[in-house]
Amino acid sequence: MPLPLYLLALAVFAMGTSEFMLAGLLPDIASELGVTVGTAGALISAFAIGMVAGAPLVAALACTWPRRSSLLGFVLVFAAAHAVGAITTGFPLLFATRVVAALANAGFLAVALAAAAALVPPDKKGRALAVLLSGTTTATIVGVPGGTALGTLLGWRATFWTVAILCLPAALGILKGFPAGRVEEGAAGGPTLRAELARLAGPRLVLVMLLGALVNAATFASFTFLAPVVTDVAGLDEWWISVVLVLFGAGSLAGVTVAGRLSDRHPGAVVAVCGPLLLIGWAALAVLADKPVALLALVFVQGALSFALGGTLITRVLYEAVVAPTMAGSYATAALNVGAAAGPLVAATALGTGAGERGPLWASGLLVAVALLVAFPLRTVIAADRAAR
């Protein structure tokens, strides 16, 4: 894999740390800013909603910009939003900084996904996506637990400052790793932006985006509220939150790495195996969450299955949108973040039911069940040979 791809993954690591770190910081943020934990959870949804709305819009605006300038500008805006968030004393302003950061993240990912696909041969998109997503999964292993531990020691604001600082070497890597000037995607003879947007109505693309969104919603529904599961249901000390997040991240890295080698040629097999296992796993985790050993084991397994299945579906989005080179990355970003926005909202509702802290885990199982019900009669579409694109 080319070096610029790993530089993109470095930036994704910084952004992934920010996106996921709030899962371990919500109780402290809620306490300091005078809101409930459920309300604080809206910060995660705000970030995801900003990415959903921002991905197509920012990608369309950035399609005429030099690739290096686009990526660099998005990283610097992202860093600035975290610096402002670190000093704010009000929840509304913190909420606003999450939206701004999300727009920058959306623009970056939309350009980065298209760049990653362009850096490798046409039949290696899955492996390229796996490298890019390794920035996110590494964030869940190192960045998020580290941010949670840092927040416990120095307060949640310290984690915001850390993310802002992490963006600086990523920005330097982009400057050094990408040439200045325009790239081929804007060359004459390519599809117009109007034609690319029309591709969004294609039934195959809509299907894989829907499935990707549902699976990611299930992932975020539980991941967002893992902290109370660890402390209130399993009865573990607060420091175990970081351990659980590391296990989830390690599983997700394993899952996305393995799926990256299979999703280009055998997407149907990945979906057929991982989908039912993911459903069973969420139900098992909901039932056994009060048993620490089972909790730790199942968190790893669910991280692996979630990212293997989700990564495969997002790879299919890139294949389906191959005739829309400018907007393909934004479609994949939107699919991921529709789920990331909906998942915490569904989970917050589930918290208010009789299931209590286990509610988000049951909600994750329900979302995967819906995805399987949609996917089963259309499984041949998902498994369609990439050569047919």
Q: Which among 65, 60, 82, 88 has a CA at the least distance from the CA of 15?
A: 82
Reported as half-sphere exposure (CB side, CA atoms, 13 A), residue 388 has a value of 9
8 Å CB contact between 77 and 100: yes
Give Cα separations from 119 to 7, 74, 137, 371, 375 (angstroms).
12, 20, 21, 31, 31
Distance CA 350, CA 261 (A): 36
Q: What angle do CA 287, 300, 380 make, to 5 degrees?
A: 90
- The span from the CA of 103 to the CA of 58, in Å, is 7
DSSP code string of 55-122? HHHHHHHHTTS-HHHHHHHHHHHHHHHHHHHHH--SHHHHHHHHHHHHHHHHHHHHHHHHHHHHTS-G
Q: Is-contact 305 311, C-beta < 8 A?
A: no
pLDDT at 249: 81
Neighbouring residues of 287: CB distance < 8 A, sequence distance ≥ 6: none
Q: In what helix (H) or strand (E) does residue 184 lie, and over which residues does it extend?
A: none
Helix (H/G/I), strand (E/B), else coil: 36? coil
DSSP secondary structure code for residue 1 in this structure: -
Q: Which residues of 103-123 are buried (b: 16+ CB within 10 A; e: fewer)?
A: bbbbbbbbbbbbbbbbbbeee
Distinct helix (H) and strand (E) counts, the chain: 18, 0
Q: b/e per residue, 187-201, with b = 16+ CB within 10 A?
A: eeebbeeeebbebbe
Contact criterion met (CB below 8 Å) for 23 and 221: no
Predicted local distance difference test score (pLDDT) of residue 186: 44
74 and 90 Cβ atoms separated by less than 8 Å: no
Per-10-residue mean pLDDT of the chain, 389 residues long, equals 76 81 80 83 78 71 74 91 92 91 84 73 70 74 73 86 87 76 47 64 77 90 87 87 84 82 74 91 94 94 91 76 64 76 86 86 94 76 49
**Global pTM value:** 0.70
Structure token pair of residue 189: 């003879």
CA 114 to chain centre: 16
24, 18 in Cβ contact below 8 A?
A: no
Q: Are 117 and 128 in contact (CB under 8 A)?
A: yes
User: What pLDDT score was predicted for residue 127?
Assistant: 73
90 vs 105: CA distance, rounded Å? 23
**Token pair in block for residue 129:** 């996506």
CB burial string 43-58: b at 16+ within 10 A, e below: bbbbbbbbbbbbbbeb
Cα dist from 269 to 16, 207, 225, 255, whole Å: 28, 17, 30, 14
